[in-house]
Amino acid sequence: MKASWPDIPYTAWSETCSALHLYCQIVGKYRLARTPWVNHSWHATFYVNARGLTTGLVPDGPAGGIEVVLDLLGHELVVMSSDGRTGRLPLLAGSVAGFHRRFRSLLVDLGANPEFSGVPNEVPGGVPFAEDDAVRPYDAEAVSRFFHALVQVDRVLKLFRTSFLGKVSPVHLFWGSFDLAVTRFSGRVAPLHPGGVPALPDKVTCEAYSHQVSSAGFWPGGGGVDYPAFYSYAYPAPEGFSEAGVKPAAARFDTALGEFILPYEDVRLSGDPERALMEFLESTYRAAADLGGWDTGMLECGTGRPLHPRPVG
């Protein structure tokens, strides 16, 4: 239903969004430091759950497992150990340095390792967490609306993911760029990526784009788009990709970003938000796959349905 896609105007909560982004980076850096590397940095991401964002189980702590949840309904950070202990930290107005200090203290209390990188990624001019003493707001109502938007987007991205038999990422949130994303792979090796992403080691970028991809996702705003938006891009971008006809009509190619963009508001206000978003995901993927010469007959299948296994033969 349209009403379940909340209004999330970026300018109204941009400062809170920036704070939440940095809080996620701090938690993400903890997961990154403790988890063995998985291709394309999939080991470092977050997942949408029933109350917010979770790291999943991190291999750390006295009993071998720590999970960190940013509860965006109850507005608290919850750190859980597999030995049954739990620590909590309220999400309130305050400084990044204060959040960083209290989170590390919670980890110590639970017997986890509090050592991880203290510098933000993909944030131009980012201040080390321990030195970021600026007081930031925390608009709890806006955060909850953002969470409810994530639930809807996560659901549609997961449905879109089911119609691909080839290598495909989980639907996950990258805390560096703060986007919920899903990526399909053609199976072909890609040209070496030139790197150059702000505050991100080139070796990480090059490994992330080691193979030909069509990637799509959702930003709350910022980073060149000051409104919530869906995006889709191809790497390497095939000839003619930027001129491809995509749906719905509100979608456009942003030459500065090198990606197709669809404002969240156009999806939210459409008669059928799920259909509008699926049109964008399908048509931009089709442009990448057809122009890029993907072996679509081997990679695609029908959309998944509950209790219906894929036919074989």
Question: Among residues 72, 96, 131, which one ends one of the domains?
Answer: 131
Q: Is residue 233 in some structural domain?
A: yes
Which band of pLDDT confidence, cut at 50, 70 and 90, is reported for residue 1? very low
Q: Is residue 80 in some structural domain?
A: yes
pLDDT tens, 255-301? 999 999 999 999 999 999 999 999 999 999 999 999 999 999 999 99
| Mean pLDDT rounded to a whole number for the chain | 96
- Same-domain status, 148 and 278: yes
For residue 173, list its beta bridge partners: 46, 180
Question: Among residues 131, 150, 175, which one ends one of the domains?
Answer: 131
- Same-domain status, 149 and 111: no
* Per-residue pLDDT, 107: 98
Q: Is residue 114 in some structural domain?
A: yes
Does residue 58 register a pLDDT over 60?
A: yes
Question: Among residues 100, 131, 162, which one ends one of the domains?
Answer: 131
* Per-residue pLDDT, 2: 44
Geometric angle at alpha carbon 158, from 30 and 232, rounded to 5°: 85
- Same-domain status, 100 and 123: yes
- Same-domain status, 197 and 176: yes
- Same-domain status, 218 and 249: yes
- Same-domain status, 118 and 6: yes
How far apart, in whole angstroms, are the C-alpha atoms of residue 162 and residue 176? 26
- Same-domain status, 88 and 162: no
For the CA atoms of 83, 85, 89, 91, the dihedral, rounded to the nearest 10 degrees, stands at 70
Q: Is residue 306 in some structural domain?
A: no
- Same-domain status, 88 and 9: yes
- Same-domain status, 237 and 291: yes
* Per-residue pLDDT, 224: 83
Which band of pLDDT confidence, cut at 50, 70 and 90, is reported for residue 204? very high
Which band of pLDDT confidence, cut at 50, 70 and 90, is reported for residue 125? confident
Does residue 101 register a pLDDT over 80?
A: yes
Which residue, among 130, 182, 111, 151, has the nearest Cα to 22 in the 3D structure?
130
Q: Is residue 231 in some structural domain?
A: yes
Print the domain residue range for 36: 2-131
- Number of domain units in the chain: 2
- Same-domain status, 117 and 211: no
- Same-domain status, 13 and 42: yes
Which band of pLDDT confidence, cut at 50, 70 and 90, is reported for residue 311? confident
Q: Residue 273 contacts by C-beta under 8 Å, 6 or more apart in sequence?
A: 2, 5, 152, 267
Three-class DSSP labels, the chain = CHHHCCCCCHHHHHHHHHHHHHHHHHHHHHHHHHCCCCHHHHHHCEEECCCEEEEEEECCCCCCCEEEEEECCCCEEEEEECCCCEEEEECCCECHHHHHHHHHHHHHHCCCCCCCCCCCCCCCCCCCHHHCCCCECCCHHHHHHHHHHHHHHHHHHHHHHCCECCCECCCEEECCCCEEEEEEEEEEECCCCCCCCCCCCHHHHHHHCCEEEEEEEEECCECCECCCEEEEEEECCCCCHHHCCCCCCCCEEECCCCEEEEEHHHHHCCCCHHHHHHHHHHHHHHHHHHHHCCCHHHHECCCCCCCCCCCCC
Q: Is residue 308 in some structural domain?
A: no
- Same-domain status, 127 and 168: no
